């Protein structure tokens, strides 16, 4: 996993609730056997119409909006466990997703791929949407060490929660699989005394 690097970026607003992973990456694009290239089909059926033409109404196709932060309505990433959703967002260029609520599996998948999910209160989320609406060039700063999401000009300074272990993994770009492999001795010991009925 790549280390998470603190960033300053504009944000793309997607004020829709309950965005499920089928929207983020439809099932028919899950047939690849590698992790790369899913960004091309991120939000495929919202970005393109059924004839394959670009849907200009969709925010990712609106040149006014750009940046590495996606701001979305509550319960982002619900539905399927497909990690391809996190891969697609990362591959497209997002490094942070902000919402008032994340689905559990998506959140884990994001954190395992260097994509930072930031949970804010519904009021703060509303405020962030307004700031972007007023000025799409508004820059937000994210600092993982201090766990802050801020926009100094407008006085926005939000502290967010993150599990300490997940924070350490993101900060160091630590690979949890290597970590588990390093724990083999205790795992083998556990197995010796564990019975599966």
| Binding site residues, another protein, CB under 8 A | 15-18, 20, 22-23, 26-28, 30-35, 45, 50, 73-75, 78-84, 86, 101, 103-105, 108-109, 112-113, 163-165, 176-181, 183-184, 186-187, 190-191, 194, 196-197
Rounded distance between C-alpha atoms, residue 70 and residue 68, angstroms: 7
Q: In terms of DSSP bridges, do strands 96-99 and 116-119 run parallel, antiparallel, or are they unpaired?
A: parallel
Closest approach of Cβ 155 to another protein, in Å? 27
Closest approach of Cβ 139 to another protein, in Å? 26
Asked if 137 and 126 touch (Cβ cutoff 8 Å), the reply is: no
**Residue 27 token pair:** 């099932």
Minimum CB distance to another protein smaller for 63 or for 164: 164
Place of tokens 């899913």: 38
Asked if 137 and 178 touch (Cβ cutoff 8 Å), the reply is: no
Asked if 104 and 76 touch (Cβ cutoff 8 Å), the reply is: no
Closest approach of Cβ 182 to another protein, in Å? 9
Measured CA to CA in angstroms, residue 24 lies from 54, 88, 161 at distances of: 16, 8, 24
Closest approach of Cβ 66 to another protein, in Å? 22
Minimum CB distance to another protein smaller for 96 or for 110: 110
Minimum CB distance to another protein smaller for 64 or for 177: 177
Q: In terms of DSSP bridges, do strands 11-14 and 156-159 run parallel, antiparallel, or are they unpaired?
A: unpaired
Minimum CB distance to another protein smaller for 65 or for 141: 65
Closest approach of Cβ 141 to another protein, in Å? 27
Minimum CB distance to another protein smaller for 17 or for 157: 17
């Amino acid at each position: 996993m790549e280390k998470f690097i603190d960033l300053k970026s504009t944000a793309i607003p997607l004020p829709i609730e309950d965005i499920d992973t089928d929207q983020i990456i439809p099932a028919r694009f899950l047939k690849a056997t590698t992790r790369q290239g899913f960004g091309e089909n991120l939000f495929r059926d919202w970005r393109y119409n059924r004839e394959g033409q670009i849907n200009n109404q969709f925010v990712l196709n609106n040149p006014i909006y750009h940046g590495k932060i996606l701001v979305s309505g509550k319960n982002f990433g619900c539905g399927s466990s497909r990690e391809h959703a996190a891969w697609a967002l990362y591959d497209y260029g997002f490094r942070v997703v902000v919402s008032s609520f994340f689905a559990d599996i998506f959140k884990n998948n994001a954190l395992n791929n260097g994509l930072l999910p930031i949970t804010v209160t519904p009021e703060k989320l509303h405020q962030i949407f307004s700031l972007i609406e007023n000025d799409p060039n508004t820059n937000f700063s994210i600092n993982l060490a201090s766990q802050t999401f801020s926009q100094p000009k407008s006085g926005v300074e939000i502290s967010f929660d993150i599990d300490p272990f997940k924070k350490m993994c993101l900060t160091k770009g630590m690979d949890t699989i290597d970590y588990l492999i390093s724990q083999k001795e205790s795992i083998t010991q556990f197995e010796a005394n564990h019975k599966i009925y």
